[in-house]
Amino acid sequence: MAPLQFQPLSSQPTPSFWSALNSLKLDKLKLDDSEQPMEAWLEESREIHDREKGGTIGVSGSVGLGSGAFGQESGERPPAGSVELKGVFKNYNTIEEFKATETKKEIFNSVADSILASFETNAPQLDTFLLVTFADLKKYIYHYWFAFPAVVSKPAWEIEEGGLVAAEDQLVAEARKLADDLSNRSGALLVRGPAGQRTAAPVKDATAFFEGVPSSERIVAFHDPSHLPDAPGWPVRNVLFYLASKHGLSDVTILCLRSGSSSRIGRVSLPGPLSAEKPTFVGWERNKIGKLGSRVADLGPMMDPARLADQAV
Amino acid sequence: MNNPLLSIQSQYWAVRDYLSPEFVAAGDFLTFKFPVWQWEKGDPSRARDFLPHDKQYLITRNVPCLRRATAVNYTDADEDAEKLLSFLDEAEEVAGPDGKPRGDDDWVATHIGRGQLPYLRITPLPTQPLANLNIKDTADEQIDEIPDMDEIPDMDDEAVGLEEEDDAVRIVHPSAAEVNSTAGQNLLQVRTYDCLISYDKHYQTPRFWLYGYDEPLADSAEQNPLTPAQVFQDVPADYAFKTMTMEAFPHSGQQLASVHPCKHASVMKKFIDRMEAAQPTEGEAAPLTSGSKKGKWGIGGMVRKVTGGSAPPADKKEKEPSGDGEGSSGVQVDFYLVIFLKFIASIVPTIEVDSTTATAL
C-alpha cells in the first residue's frame, strides 16, 4: 500500500474574465470589497498527439473562468463536458490588504468551514474554490491567487499495490453515459453493479446506494483533470473525505475519467478510522515556479489604449 | 438536397465569397462533429446582427502548442502546395478497399514532416518592420515594469504562515527543475491557445484569432497571458506582423492575434478546387454507387482523419449528417470550416488547431 497522491489544480482565467472583472469592479462593486459568488469550469485532462516526435503528451485540465464567471447572462459558455465549480471571489482595494497573510487566512478558513459544514447537509460542496484579487485598473495588471480548498485526511488514503491502472473502455463508456444521464455537472458520481447493468447515484446518496454492495464493487467515478498516470486529480480529495466522514466508506475504487483512452482506475482505502480532530485544509495554488504565491496577469499589451495605439502604427 | 443552402453553393464557390448563413451552417457542423468547438454569444453590445445572437463566433479552448515556430522550418511555400496535392492522393487511398485509417492528420501536416534543422540555419532574418516592432515592445515593457517592481509583493513573504505543509508528500507538483529536466523528452506543461473563428463581414470569410497562455511553469515571466511578442513566436516569420497581426476582436474588443482575411477567399478557393478536381477520379471508378461512396473520397476521408479514425470507417459514414446532397459540387458548405482549419493549420503549424481528435464527452 502506498500513500495516494493528488495532482493539484491549476487555474487559467481567460482574457474576457479580466474584462468582466474590470466592469464588475468599476460599475458594480466600486469600493465594496465584500465576497461575491462566482463560477468556473474544470475540464478533464487530454492526450494530444505529438506529430513531430510521435507519442502522446498529457495535458492537465485546468480551472477556466470566462466572462460569465460573475453570473452575467451574456457570458461565455463553459466547454462541453466540463465540470461546474462554484467559488467565492474577493477583491481587495489595496495591494497591502491583498498581500497581508491574515486577511487571506481568514477568508480561506471561512470557506473551509463552510465546506465542512456543508458535509453535514444534503448538499455537500465538493468543488468550492476561492479567488482573491487586487486589480490595478490603470495599468491593467491583476494580482490574483486561487485556492482550491481540500481536506487533509488523517490518516492519509492509501492505494493498493500497483497503483492506478488503465480502466477498461467498456466501464469508462458506461460511467460516462451514467454521468450524462445524471445530468448534473458535478465532478463525481457513484457507480455500482455488474458490467452492462451498472447504475449511478449522486455522491450524497452514498450510504443508501452502496448498502449491501461489497466494498470491491463500490466505484467513485469523477472527471479527472490530472494527466499523471499514477495520481488522480485534486477534486476527488474532498469526495473521498466526504464519503469517509459522512458515509463511513473507507474502501472504494476510484475511476478517473479522462479524455481519450487514458482513464485510470484504482482501489483506495483508509488504513484506520478518521481522526476525530477538526480537519485542516490546504489548497492555495502554487505559482509558476512551484511556490506558494500569488500570480500576476498583465493585460496591458491587450487592453491598455495607449499601448494599443502604439501598436496600431 | 433539401437544404436550401446547398442549392447556392456553386455560386458562392464561384464568387469565392462565404456568406454568413453558410458560416452558421458550417459552424453548426463543426460544433456537432467536433464538440471541442462551440458557439459563443460574445458581448451583446457588439453583436453582429447578420448572425444569430447566440452564434456570433466559434471558440475552442486550451489548444496545445508544443514548440516554437522558430524551431521548425516552415518557410517554403512551394512545398506547402505539394503537400496539399498529396493529401488528395491520400484521400483517394483512404477510399481504397482496405479502408485502413491513415496516420492521424497526415494530410494536414503540411510542414510537419520535415525534420528539425539546426537552429542557426533556419532562423529567418527578421524583416525591418519586425525588428523595429520588437525593439519598441521591449522598450515599452521596461519602462512600464520598473515602477511596478516596488508594488509587487515579495513572493517569499507572501505565503509565510498561510498554509501548513500537507503532512505526507501528497502534492504532486512538478518543480521548475523537474519540468526543465523532462522538458526535452516529455513535456508536462505546454503553451496553450484559445482559438476563435469569427465571421468577417467585409471579406465575407471566416477569420481566425488566437489568444495565448504561457506555459504554467515558465521560469522567468510571471505573466499568464502571452504578450503579442510571445504569440508571434508561434507564427512562422513569413506571417508574423504581415498576414498575422494584433487586432481588436470584434466581439469583445480585446487585442488578439489574427490572420488577416484578405487572402482567405482565394486560398480557400484553391483548396476546394483541388478537392473538386479530385472528385471525378473516384466518380469514374465507381460511377454507380451513390452518395455514400462519393462521400468517401474526400470529405469522408478527411473527417475520418480528423476524428482520428477511432470508429470503423463504415460507421462514420452512416453518421455523417451530410451524406446526401453530394451531387453537383463535391464540397459542401458544411465542410468549409473543416477545410478552413486545415488552411489555418498551415499558417500556425505548431498550434494544434486541428487537434479535433479529442473525444466528445
Q: What percent of chain B has pLDDT over 90?
A: 3
Measured in degrees and rounded to the nearest 5, phi and psi for residue A140 equal: 60, 40
Predicted pLDDT at B184: 37
Instruction: Answer yes or no: do A23 and A61 share one domain.
Output: yes
Residue B256's DSSP bridge partners are B247
Confirm whether B157 is domain-assigned: no
Query: Of B14, B188, B262, B286, which is the active-site residue?
Result: B262
User: Quick one: average pLDDT of A252-261?
Assistant: 90
Q: Cα A226 to the chain's mean position, in Å?
A: 10
Range of the domain at B253: 4-119+190-347
With an 8 Å Cβ cutoff, are B152 and A296 in contact? yes
pLDDT in tens, B44-55: 888 888 888 888
User: Quick one: average pLDDT of A64-76?
Assistant: 81
Of the candidates A269, A287, A302, which is a domain's last residue?
A269
The alpha carbon torsion through A228, A230, A233, A236 (nearest 10 deg) reads: 160
Residues in chain A closer than 8 A to B361 (CB atoms): 44, 80-81, 176, 180, 259
Better-scored residue on pLDDT, B37 or B173: B37
How close, in Å, is residue A212 to chain B by CA atoms? 31
Instruction: Answer yes or no: do A171 and A253 share one domain.
Output: yes
Predicted pLDDT at B268: 83
Q: Which of A40, A124, A149, A120 is nearest to A86 (CA)?
A: A40
Please tell me the distance from the alpha carbon of residue B111 to that of residue B82, in angstroms, as a whole number. 10
Q: Which DSSP helix (H) or strand (E) runs through A225?
A: none
As a whole number, the mean pLDDT across chain B is 59
Better-scored residue on pLDDT, A157 or B351: A157
User: Quick one: average pLDDT of B187-202?
Assistant: 78
Please tell me the distance from the alpha carbon of residue A75 to that of residue B57, in angstroms, as a whole number. 13
Please tell me the distance from the alpha carbon of residue A73 to that of residue B228, in angstroms, as a whole number. 30
Answer whether B51's CB lies under 8 Å from B23's CB.
yes
Instruction: Answer yes or no: do A111 and A33 share one domain.
Output: yes
With an 8 Å Cβ cutoff, are B168 and A57 in contact? no
Exposure class string for A162-182: b at 16+ Cβ within 10 A, else e: eebeebeeebbebbbebbeee
Confidence of residue A288 (pLDDT cuts 50, 70, 90): low
| Nearest residue in A to B44, CA atom | A74
Predicted pLDDT at A221: 94
Q: How many domains does chain B have?
A: 1
Residues 6+ apart with CB under 8 A from B358: A46, A259, A260, B34, B36
Q: How many domains does chain A have?
A: 2
User: Quick one: average pLDDT of B355-360?
Assistant: 40
Instruction: Answer yes or no: do A187 and A231 share one domain.
Output: yes
Confidence of residue A297 (pLDDT cuts 50, 70, 90): confident
Better-scored residue on pLDDT, A129 or B235: A129
Measured in degrees and rounded to the nearest 5, phi and psi for residue B244 equal: -110, 120
Grid coordinates 456537432 are at which residue? Answer: B32
Predicted pLDDT at B162: 64
Answer whether A219's CB lies under 8 Å from A37's CB.
no
ipTM of model: 0.76
Instruction: Answer yes or no: do A243 and A178 share one domain.
Output: yes
Predicted pLDDT at B328: 41
Q: Flag whether pLDDT at B68 surpasses 60.
A: yes
Q: What share of chain B is helix, strand, coil (3-state, %, to 5)?
A: 45, 15, 45
Q: What is the DSSP letter of A167?
A: P
User: Quick one: average pLDDT of A147-161?
Assistant: 89
Measured in degrees and rounded to the nearest 5, phi and psi for residue A79 equal: -60, 150
Better-scored residue on pLDDT, B228 or B199: B199
Predicted pLDDT at B71: 62
Q: Which of B31, B108, B17, B15 is nearest to B334 (CA)?
A: B31
Q: Flag whether pLDDT at B170 surpasses 90.
A: no
Q: Which of B64, B35, B346, B357 is nearest to B213 (CA)?
A: B64
Residues in chain A closer than 8 A to B104 (CB atoms): 49, 51
Predicted pLDDT at B158: 57
Please tell me the distance from the alpha carbon of residue B327 to that of residue B295, in angstroms, as a whole number. 10
Q: Flag whether pLDDT at B285 surpasses 70.
A: no
Predicted pLDDT at B104: 37
Range of the domain at A165: 159-269
Q: Flag whether pLDDT at A280 surpasses 80.
A: yes
pLDDT in tens, A110-124: 999 999 999 999 889
Predicted pLDDT at A252: 94
Answer whether A87's CB lies under 8 Å from A130's CB.
yes
pLDDT in tens, B91-113: 444 433 344 443 333 344 444 43
Q: Which of A252, A247, A274 is nearest to A120 (CA)?
A: A247
Instruction: Answer yes or no: do A132 and A82 share one domain.
Output: yes
Better-scored residue on pLDDT, B320 or B209: B209
> Which residue out of B54, B132, B166 would a mutagenesis test of the A interface target, given it has the greatest number of A Cβ atoms within 10 Å?
B166
Q: Flag whether pLDDT at A50 surpasses 90.
A: no
Residue B257's DSSP bridge partners are B210, B246
Instruction: Answer yes or no: do A243 and A193 share one domain.
Output: yes
Q: What percent of chain B has pLDDT over 70?
A: 41
Confirm whether B162 is domain-assigned: no
SS3 A260: coil
pLDDT in tens, A82-98: 888 999 999 999 999 99
Please tell me the distance from the alpha carbon of residue B90 to that of residue B80, in angstroms, as a whole number. 15
pLDDT in tens, B128-145: 343 333 333 333 434 344
Instruction: Answer yes or no: do A203 and A232 share one domain.
Output: yes
Q: Flag whether pLDDT at B342 surpasses 80.
A: yes
Predicted pLDDT at B137: 39
Answer whether B25's CB lies under 8 Å from B41's CB.
no
Residues in chain B closer than 8 A to A81 (CB atoms): 35, 360-361
Q: Flag whether pLDDT at B160 surpasses 90.
A: no
How close, in Å, is residue A275 to chain B by CA atoms? 14
User: Quick one: average pLDDT of A149-173?
Assistant: 90
Measured in degrees and rounded to the nearest 5, phi and psi for residue B179 equal: -65, -40
Please tell me the distance from the alpha carbon of residue B243 to that of residue A301, in angstroms, as a whole number. 20
Instruction: Answer yes or no: do A53 and A93 share one domain.
Output: yes
Answer whether A241's CB lies under 8 Å from A279's CB.
yes
| Nearest residue in A to B210, CA atom | A15
Instruction: Answer yes or no: do A149 and A163 share one domain.
Output: no
Better-scored residue on pLDDT, B87 or A279: A279
Give CA separation, A289 vs A18, A295, B177, B178, B230, in Å: 23, 10, 9, 11, 19
Confidence of residue A236 (pLDDT cuts 50, 70, 90): very high
SS3 B240: strand
Answer whether B174's CB lies under 8 Å from B217's CB.
yes
Instruction: Answer yes or no: do A56 and A97 share one domain.
Output: yes
What CATH number is attached to the domain comprising A104? 3.40.140.70
Q: Flag whether pLDDT at B76 surpasses 70.
A: no
What CATH number is attached to the domain comprising A192? 3.40.140.100
Confidence of residue B196 (pLDDT cuts 50, 70, 90): very high
Residues in chain B closer than 8 A to A307 (CB atoms): 140
Predicted pLDDT at A46: 83
Q: Flag whether pLDDT at B9 surpasses 60.
A: no
Confirm whether B44 is domain-assigned: yes
Residue A115's DSSP bridge partners are none
Answer whether B259's CB lies under 8 Å from B243's CB.
yes
Residues 6+ apart with CB under 8 A from B311: none
Instruction: Answer yes or no: do A147 and A85 share one domain.
Output: yes
As a whole number, the mean pLDDT across chain A is 87
Please tell me the distance from the alpha carbon of residue A194 to that of residue A205, in angstroms, as a whole number. 19
Grid coordinates 462565404 are at which residue? Answer: B18
B262 is catalytic: yes
Confidence of residue A251 (pLDDT cuts 50, 70, 90): very high
Confidence of residue B161 (pLDDT cuts 50, 70, 90): low
Q: Flag whether pLDDT at A134 surpasses 90.
A: yes
pLDDT in tens, B250-276: 887 778 888 888 888 888 888 888 877
Q: What single string gives the DSSP state of each residue in A44-92?
A: PPEEEE-TTT-SEEEE---EEE-TTTT--TTPPPPPTTPEEEEEEEEEE
